[in-house]
A and B are shown apart, each in its own frame.
Chain A
Amino acid sequence: MRGSRGATSAAPAVRFERLTVDYGTGKIWSDLSLQVARGAFVAILGPNGAGKTSLLRAVLGLISPTAGSIEVLGRSPRRGDPAIGYVPQHSSFDPDLPLRGRDLVRLGIDGHRWGIGWRDADADARVARAIASVGAEPYADAAIGRLSGGEQQRLRIAQALVGDPAVLLCDEPLANLDLRNQQAITDLIHAWQERTGGTVLLVTHDVNPVLRLVDEVLFVVNGRWAAGKPDDVLTSARLSDLYGSHVDVVQVSGRLLVVGQSTETGLNLDEPHHAPIPVDGHHGLR
């Protein structure tokens, strides 16, 4: 883990202590203990239905642990904590929805407040800065449902960051994006982290696009989990143990692939790996 860059107090960004979460019929997490240091980038991996989204929802205070505890920045999770930014799993907007990207980002500032919400120059300026920081100015005033997946995702990230959070939770932010956009979104998140010292918890089914940034991975299968540095966790031995059947972690053209009978697609991706593109300055957040 990358130490406590940008930390303002000793408490870790997120601490899971013997966390167990039940959801409907069964346990999705049992006995998860993990500390995420401030400024760390943690990738949460695992097959579909492993409870990755539920873990983020528990951090957001939207579902309560059955046993154990969670602390976010040294306190219990609470709904609507402004210190947490959230990029929900991508669901595209209706093309006819009258909503501009600018409106979506604005909701991140005061969308939870009562009343109509009149013009506010200060809020408008913050929205404009957040939009600029993700490079979305050219299309921020168009109907968001008519934008491409990558453009919509940039605006979602701008919404998550407009409130200056300390922790950013992203749920599959790279799904349905082509490699170029995966790279661009990853760079945006990284640039924000470099500048603010913020902490990132990112759920993904493919670790490769973020592998160079990841300090630690949390891999979960059927309620069992393994956490640690990527090199330690993403090995044939650890993952075979986790899946309870033999799987191979292989490196092909610089990409990590998990192959086995019970892995579903796991970390596979058919496309060739592209060399990381350096983060360029103008993507930097304020």
Chain B
Amino acid sequence: MDQLTRLLAYDFVQNAIAAGVVVAIVSGAVSRFVVARNLSFAVHALAEIGFTGAAGFLLLRLPVVLGLLTGSVLTAVSIGVLGVRARGRDVVVGVVMAFGLGLGVLFITLYRGYAGQALAILFGTITGVSRTDVVLLGSIGAVTVAALALIYRPLTFATVDPEGAEARGVPVGPLAVLFLVLTAAAVAVAVQIVGVLLILTLLITPGAAAERLTPKFGRAVVYSVAIALFCTLGGITLALLTDRSVSVFVTSLSFACYLAARFVVGPALLRQSRRGSVEASGAAR
């Protein structure tokens, strides 16, 4: 504990924690919809081409965060425009991802600077987050969360009941593209902590664990954010204390959350609600 208090005095630790909070809130909220809309593969592609963008910006000596954002948003728009329908989507994602990643490899081979920075993009880091990065991440995060809140209801409708939503006038197609762009922003933010290769640990796992814990859609979003916060802040703390890579701890914690939700807490809640509903229907008679 003492060690932690001492560490908290450092700038880089404060930056890491601030970035972690932003990352967790954004990815936790987005994750719930990523899971419900079956976008795991697309998220993977957004991150990998985000890497290409980051490598390109590194080459041009521009901010890496903006490179990530550029790469992932462009990918989101391409996927959205080329294949919104679930059946064609995975194929389009694969096609776009392969090409994009190839470009990333090219940029990295051309880059003559410090190789550690490229490694940090792939595997995540907490030491590399500057005050400027935190401000940038905070701004991207705030815009993303605000946009998600604005489209929350129609996006929910379009996610769970696309035919019904379309009939009620929800612009299902444009919302799908817009949500991919928000996911791209969340990816660009989350890469700061867990890296491109481990992105799914924050954009899939919290949402997947949360759906085991409640049948209420809104509450599942809240749980997803809570799980992401726990994993990110827990991961940062453990990384600081042990001086090991933050990604290892974030992925371990989120996997543990998923296992607990799926095999322990979720089934217990289900048994409880079954008993409850049997009693309720008994009382009704």
Contacts and interface: CB of A to CB of B under 8 A. Distances in A.
B36 interface: yes
Interface residues of A, number: 37
A143 B211 CA distance: 10
Interface string A96-113: 111110011001101111
Contact of B152 (A79, A88, A117): A117
B214 interface: yes
Contacts of B164: 86, 88, 107-108, 111, 156, 159-160
Interface in B46-66: none
B284 A112 contact: no
B110 to A, nearest CB: 45
A98 B163 contact: no
Interface in B150-191: 150-154, 156-157, 160-161, 163-170
A111 B160 CA distance: 11
Nearest to B152: A116
B99 interface: no
B280 interface: yes
A99 B149 contact: no
B216 interface: yes
Given A88-B163, A107-B157, A117-B153, A112 B220 contact: no
A281 interface: no
A103 B214 CA distance: 13
B215 A141 contact: yes
A60 B164 CA distance: 11
B210 interface: yes
Contacts, number: 104
Given A107-B156, A112-B157, A138-B277, A98 B167 contact: no
B281 A112 contact: no
Given A62-B166, A142-B215, A112 B153 contact: yes
A278 interface: no
Contacts of B219: 98
B252 interface: no
Contacts of B152: 115-117
A84 B168 CA distance: 9
Contact of A111 (B154, B210, B280, B281): B154
B149 A62 contact: no
A interface SS class:
loop
Contact of B217 (A91, A98, A113): A98
A115 B153 contact: yes
A139 interface: yes
B212 interface: yes
B139 interface: no
B interface SS class:
helix
Which of B151, B152, B166 has its CB near the most chain A CB atoms (within 10 A)? B166
Nearest to B274: A142
A88 B168 CA distance: 11
B217 A99 contact: yes
Nearest to A82: B168
B252 to A, nearest CB: 23
Which of A93, A111, A115, A143 has its CB near the most chain B CB atoms (within 10 A)? A111
A123 to B, nearest CB: 12
B153 A111 contact: yes
A270 B149 CA distance: 50
A81 B216 CA distance: 28
Contacts of A111: 153-154, 156-157, 164-165, 168, 170
A23 to B, nearest CB: 16
Nearest to A156: B164
B277 A84 contact: no
Given A97-B211, A98-B220, A137-B284, A110 B153 contact: yes
Interface in A36-82: 60, 62, 79-81
Contacts of B161: 88, 104, 107, 159
Contacts of A98: 210-211, 214-217, 219-220
Contacts of B151: 114
Contact of B170 (A104, A112, A117, A159): A112
Nearest to B169: A80
Contacts of B166: 60, 62, 79
A60 B163 CA distance: 11
A262 interface: no
A35 interface: no
Interface of B: 36, 149-154, 156-157, 160-161, 163-170, 210-212, 214-217, 219-220, 273, 277, 280-281, 284
26 contacts: A62-B167, A79-B169, A80-B167, A88-B164, A88-B167, A89-B163, A93-B160, A97-B160, A98-B210, A98-B219, A100-B215, A104-B160, A107-B156, A107-B165, A111-B153, A111-B168, A112-B154, A112-B170, A113-B153, A114-B151, A115-B153, A116-B153, A117-B153, A139-B277, A141-B277, A159-B164
Given A89-B163, A107-B161, A111-B165, 8 more contacts: A60-B167, A62-B167, A111-B170, A112-B168, A112-B170, A115-B153, A116-B153, A142-B277
